[in-house]
Amino acid sequence: MNQKLAVAVMVINQDHHVLLVKNHRRGWEFPGGFVEAGESIKDAGIREVKEESGIVIEVTNFLGVEQDVKRSTTVILLKGKAISGEISVSSETQDVGYFTLEEAKNIIKLD
């Protein structure tokens, strides 16, 4: 099986709240998804956040790398700041919202 590359973005707004999307299967999480062929990791992060939440971001930092060996997926974790857009759900998300760091820690469920 080929290794897949994905990106997840911790987006912070001007109130220092974190943007989360509610996925149909995984629950609340940072917006993100797979990097497409010919696409940079940074551009994939910007695209995925816009697609899943309606928010346009600027990537500000690299946060880390997570590997899911069972799913053969490597996830690049980025940090970004919201620069425009309106929160909206998509076909990929059930709900979208900004949360305090404490609220986010309580609703994100890790495998």
Distance CA 104, CA 4 (A): 26
Q: Reply yes or no on whether the pLDDT at 103 is more than 70.
A: yes
Residue at 111 is within a domain: no
pLDDT band per the 50, 70, 90 thresholds, residue 57? very high
Query: Is the pTM value of this prediction over 0.85?
Result: yes
Domain of residue 68 covers: 4-106
Residue at 8 is within a domain: yes
Tell me, what's the pLDDT at 25? Answer: 85
Number of domains in the chain: 1
Residue at 58 is within a domain: yes
